[in-house]
Structure 1
Amino acid sequence: MFGKRGTTGQSGHASKPFGGSSTTTSDVKSEAAPAPEKSESKAPAPEPEPEPSSAASLSNEAKEKLDEIKVNVFNDLMEAVDLSELTALTPEQVREEINDMVSEIISMRGLVLSLPEQQTVIKDICNDILGLGPIEPLLERDDIADLMVNGPDVVYIEVDGKMQKTNVKFRDQAQLMNICQRIVSAVGRRVDEASPICDARLADGSRVNVIAPPLAIDGTALTIRKFKKDKLTLENLLQFGSISPELKTVMEVVSAIRLNTLISGGTGSGKTTLLNCMTGHIDPNERIITCEDSAELQLQQPHVVRLETRPPNLEGKGEVTMRDLVKNCLRMRPERIIVGEVRGPEAFDLLQAMNTGHDGSMGTIHANNPRESLSRVENMIMMGGYNLPTKAMREQISGAVNVIIQAARLRDGSRKITHLTEVLGMEGDVVTLQDICVYEIEGEDSNGNIIGRHKFTGLRPAFWEKAKYYGLERKLAEAMQFTS
C-alpha cells in the first residue's frame, strides 16, 4: 500500500523492538494509542515467551512505546514539511514523500524498528495527514455497516448485525476533532462549540453524524453509516435472506409501475439501502430528482438531479431546508421525486407532489409498522402549521401513498422486509390498509438465528390493474401464485 522503504541499518531485532529509542516526550503521556493499526503492531517479540501474562505485558508496553514514537515522528514531520507544497501533489506522491521523510526521521533519531513496525508508523502518519486517522483501516473494510466513535478512547463497529468493540483509539480529543472537521469541511459544513451538531457524508456517500462537546459529555461522538463499495440490488437482499424470491418480484413490479412508495422502519433497519435497491427498477428514461439532508442515495439512472439541504451560516442565514428542496422540485419537471428521509413539514409537499402526477415518488420514514408510518406523516403535516381537519389530512395521505414497505432489524441482527402493505383508501375517518405479504417468525435455531418465512396473504392487490396497464400482470400473478 505504501512505497517500499529504502532505509538501511534497521536491525529490527524482535526481542528489543524499541531499544534504540533515545526519545521521550514529557508532553505526550503515552496517549491512547491511535489506530486500528494497533492490530497490525503485531509485536513479534512476545510470541516465543512461555508465560502468557508476561507476553501480554510486553505487548502492551511495546504498543505504548510505538505510539510514543509515532507522536514524536509525527511532530518532527510537521516541523519539517510545508503542507502547502503537498497540496500540488497527488495522494500517491504525498505518500511517497511522507514515506521518505519518516524513514529519514527514524534514522536521524536512531530508532531501532523492525520493518513491519516502521511500515506501521508510516501508514498511521499517512492516514493522519491524508485520511481519517486511526479509523481509516476500518473504513476500508467492506464488512462493516456502522462505525461509532464514543470519544477518543472508544470505537465500536457493527458487523453482520452485531456490535463489536475495537481496540482502535485516537491520540486525544484534539485528533478526533480534527478528523471530524476534515470530514464536514469537505462538504462545506462546520462543527464546533457554536455549532456542535452536524450531518455530512464521505466521498463514497457514507452518512456521517458528528456531535461535539459540550453536548457530547465524554468527547466528540462520530457515527458513520458505511455504504458498500458495490451497490446493492434486490438480488443481493435475496441472497442475504431479507426477502423471498416471490417478494423480490413483487417489489420489482411495484417500482416499475410507478406506485408511490413509503419505506418505513426503525433506525438501522436498512431503509436507505432498500430505497437504493428499489430505484434500480425505475425506467432509465425517467427524470428523477432526489432531496436529501446528506446525499447518500446511489441511483444508477442517467437522468438524475441530486439536491442537498444546507445549514445556516454563522450569521444564521442561507439555510435551505428539505421543504425548500421539495417545493423547488415541482418547478424542475420531475417524473419522480425521491426524498431520502421524510421527517418534517416537507411531508405535505411530498404528498402534494404524489397527488399531482408525479407517480412513482418514494421516501423513507422512521416508524415501527405501516399504520404508525401514516400517523407519523399526519404529525409531520401538523408540524408545518397546516390547520387541516383530520379527515382531510388522511384523505390526502390515502390518496397519495400506494404502498408501504416495512423494514426491520430483528433481535438476531438480521434485517428483513416484514410487511408489504397496500393503502386502499378511506373507510369513514380511518385509512384502510391491506397486507400483501408479511414475514412470519417461526422460531430460532441453536445459534439464536431467527427462522421465518415471507408469506403472501392471498389478497389480490388493488394495483393489479396498474400492473396490467404496464404489461406486468403475468409476472405479478406468477409471484403471488394467482392464475391471472
Structure 2
Amino acid sequence: MSTHVQTQQSSRVDPALLEIVRESLLADGGRVTDARIARAVRASGHVLGAGGTLHAVRSIRAELTGLGPLEHMLPQDGLTDVWINGADDVWWEAGAGPVRVPSPFAGDDEVRALAVRLISSAGRRLDEAHPCVDVQTPDGMRVHAVLPPISTGGTLISVRFRHRDVITVDDLVNSGTVSAEVLGLLLAATAGGANLLVTGSTGAGKTTVLNALLSACPVDERIVLIEDAAELRPEHPHVVGMQARHANVEGSGAIELAELVRQSLRMRPDRIVVGECRGAEVRELLTALNTGHTGAGTVHANSARAVPARLAALGALGGMTSEAVALQAGSALDLVIHLDRRGSRRALQTVALLDEKDGVLHMSSACRLVTSGSGADYEHGPAWQRFLDLAERGERR
C-alpha cells in the first residue's frame, strides 16, 4: 500500500464517531468550534488519548466545515482554487497554475455529500430540483456545484478561496503585476476621484488590483461596496458593503445588484463600487457616475479593445441601446484598467480611456505592456498625456 493511500486512510475519522459528534453539535446548536468538537468526542466514550483526540477534532472539523478528506491535502499558503471533477479527478491552484492531485474520494457519493454540505452551509439546497447552485459560505469560500445528470462526469465542485491577507500596492509591484510608475499614476488618479473600470478574464486579478487602488482613497471618503459575492476588502477606515441575495427555494426574496446600486445612492456614498457587473446593474452604475458620484466597477472582458462591445451587451440586458451606453460610458468612465493572465502570472496589460464619438464608444490607449527579448515594459499610447493629467489632478488634491 502506498504512503499516500495510507495517509488518506489514516486521515479519515470513524464514521460512527463522526455521526455521534454531528448529532451532538446539532442538538446544542451554535457555531462549530474545535473546543465543542473535542467535548463531543470525549463525551462519546471513545478512548483516543491526547494525540488521537487532536487528530479526531481536525478530521471531524474537516468533515463538518471544510473540504472533507481533501482538507488535509491542501497547501497551507497561496491556495486560490480547488476543482473536483467527479470522484477521480481533483485539481487545485496555489499560484503556479492548476495542479492535478490524487483523489481522496472513494466514490461519487462522497463528492456529492460534500457538495450538498457546502451548499447547505450557505442556506441553499442542492438536489434534483436544484442541480446547479452557486453560493458563498460563511467562511468566505465561493462554491459552485453541479449534480449528474446535468454534469456528465459525476458531481462537480468548484471552490474559490478568498485571500487571507490583503494584497498591498507593494505586492503588486513585487509580483510583476504592474510597474511602479504606472501603479503610482493609477493611485494618484484614483485618489483624485477618477472613475475606474477594471476588466479582465476570470482569475486575472481584477479584485486584487481594485482592492489595492481603493485602499489609496482619501481617508475622509465613505466607500460603499456592492457585490454578488463579498470579495473586496480594501484597507480603508470607512467601508460599508452590501451583497446580492439569490431567490429562496420558493423563487422569492431575491435582491439584485441593480437594486443595491439604487439603495446605495441613499447612503451618502463618496465612492460607489460594483464588483462584477454582469447585467442590468451596469445601467445603474453608469447613471450614478453621471450624476455626481464617484465610483468603480469590474467587468469580464477578453481584451481592452473588447470593452465597448462588452458594455453594449451588458447595457442591452438593462434595456439600453448601444448609443445610450456609449453616451453614458464615455461621460462616466475615466480609466479602463485591463488585466490578463498568462499561466500563473497576472499582469496589467493596458490602461485606456474611453471616448464617445457619434454614438460609438472608442478605446484610446494610455499605455500597454510590451514584451521583448530584454523583458517587459509599458509603451506609451496616444492617451498618455490625458492619463498624466488625471494623475496630476489627484496629486494636487
Give the alignment's TM-score, normalised by structure 2.
Answer: 0.88
- The residue aligned with 1:31 is none
Of residues 192, 202, 205, the one that matches 1:267 is 202
Offset of residue 243 of structure 1: 0.8
2:280 matches 1:349: no
2:173 matches 1:254: no
Contact between 1:255 and 1:278, CA under 8 Å: does it hold in 2? Answer: yes
Of residues 369, 378, 381, the one that matches 1:454 is 378
Seen in structure 2, the aligned counterparts of structure 1 residues 254 and 196 have a Cα distance that, compared at 3 Å, is: farther
Contact between 2:280 and 2:318, CA under 8 Å: does it hold in 1? Answer: yes
- The residue aligned with 2:367 is 437
- The residue aligned with 1:223 is 158
CA distance in 1, matches of 2:369, 2:341: 12
CA distance in 1, matches of 2:306, 2:190: 22
CA distance in 2, matches of 1:247, 1:88: 48
Residue-by-residue CA offset, 1:68-121 (whole Å, 9 max, x unaligned): xx46x22245257633355468613234235546893669xxxxxxx9899656
- The residue aligned with 2:314 is 380
CA distance in 2, matches of 1:310, 1:371: 32
Greater alpha carbon shift after TM alignment, 173-182 vs 272-281: 173-182
- The residue aligned with 1:277 is 212
CA distance in 1, matches of 2:254, 2:67: 28
Amino acid at match of 1:401: L
Residue-by-residue CA offset, 1:6-52 (whole Å, 9 max, x unaligned): xxxxxxxxxxxxxxxxxxxxxxxxxxxxxxxxxxxxxxxxxxxxxxx
Seen in structure 2, the aligned counterparts of structure 1 residues 329 and 219 have a Cα distance that, compared at 3 Å, is: same
Contact between 1:133 and 1:179, CA under 8 Å: does it hold in 2? Answer: yes
Seen in structure 2, the aligned counterparts of structure 1 residues 324 and 284 have a Cα distance that, compared at 3 Å, is: same
Contact between 2:146 and 2:156, CA under 8 Å: does it hold in 1? Answer: yes
Greater alpha carbon shift after TM alignment, 224-233 vs 180-189: 180-189
- The residue aligned with 1:151 is 86
Contact between 2:311 and 2:325, CA under 8 Å: does it hold in 1? Answer: no
CA distance in 1, matches of 2:154, 2:43: 33
Of residues 191, 201, 204, the one that matches 2:136 is 201
Pairwise mapping of residues 387-402 of structure 1 onto structure 2 (< 5 A)? Answer: 388=321, 390-402=322-334
Contact between 2:224 and 2:271, CA under 8 Å: does it hold in 1? Answer: yes
Q: 3-state DSSP class of the match of 1:398?
A: helix
Unaligned runs of 5+ in 1: 1-56, 108-114, 445-450, 474-484
Seen in structure 2, the aligned counterparts of structure 1 residues 371 and 183 have a Cα distance that, compared at 3 Å, is: same
Offset of residue 354 of structure 1: 0.8
CA distance in 1, matches of 2:178, 2:389: 24
Of residues 95, 99, 103, the one that matches 1:160 is 95
Greater alpha carbon shift after TM alignment, 347-356 vs 376-385: 376-385
Contact between 1:183 and 1:201, CA under 8 Å: does it hold in 2? Answer: no
Residue-by-residue CA offset, 1:145-203 (whole Å, 9 max, x unaligned): 21111123322111323111122423443443343344333433332222222222244
| Number of aligned residues | 396
Q: 3-state DSSP class of the match of 1:409?
A: strand
Amino acid at match of 1:418: Q
Offset of residue 236 of structure 1: 0.5
2:111 matches 1:176: yes
2:15 matches 1:74: yes
- The residue aligned with 2:349 is 418
Amino acid at match of 1:439: L
Q: 3-state DSSP class of the match of 1:232?
A: coil
CA distance in 2, matches of 1:341, 1:74: 41
Residue-by-residue CA offset, 1:408-467 (whole Å, 9 max, x unaligned): 001x421110001122x23334334322221112159xxxxxx42233347543255554
2:65 matches 1:124: no
CA distance in 1, matches of 2:172, 2:5: 45
CA distance in 1, matches of 2:123, 2:162: 21
Amino acid at match of 2:25: L
Offset of residue 381 of structure 1: 1.1
Seen in structure 2, the aligned counterparts of structure 1 residues 102 and 437 have a Cα distance that, compared at 3 Å, is: farther
- The residue aligned with 2:336 is 404
Seen in structure 2, the aligned counterparts of structure 1 residues 443 and 95 have a Cα distance that, compared at 3 Å, is: farther
2:71 matches 1:136: yes
Q: 3-state DSSP class of the match of 2:319?
A: coil
Q: 3-state DSSP class of the match of 2:306?
A: helix
Seen in structure 2, the aligned counterparts of structure 1 residues 181 and 471 have a Cα distance that, compared at 3 Å, is: same
Residue-by-residue CA offset, 1:329-351 (whole Å, 9 max, x unaligned): 22322221111101111111111
Contact between 2:37 and 2:61, CA under 8 Å: does it hold in 1? Answer: yes
Give the alignment's TM-score, normalised by structure 1.
Answer: 0.73
Of residues 34, 39, 46, the one that matches 1:104 is 46
Unaligned runs of 5+ in 2: none
Contact between 2:25 and 2:40, CA under 8 Å: does it hold in 1? Answer: no
CA distance in 2, matches of 1:329, 1:419: 30
- The residue aligned with 2:25 is 83
Q: 3-state DSSP class of the match of 1:147?
A: strand
Offset of residue 248 of structure 1: 1.4
Residue-by-residue CA offset, 1:210-238 (whole Å, 9 max, x unaligned): 22333223232222222221110221111
CA distance in 1, matches of 2:220, 2:118: 35
CA distance in 2, matches of 1:60, 1:285: 54
CA distance in 2, matches of 1:428, 1:202: 46
CA distance in 1, matches of 2:5, 2:290: 66
CA distance in 2, matches of 1:60, 1:430: 59
Contact between 2:77 and 2:94, CA under 8 Å: does it hold in 1? Answer: no
Q: 3-state DSSP class of the match of 1:417?
A: strand
Amino-acid identity (%): 29
Of residues 357, 363, 369, the one that matches 2:303 is 369
CA distance in 1, matches of 2:123, 2:304: 36
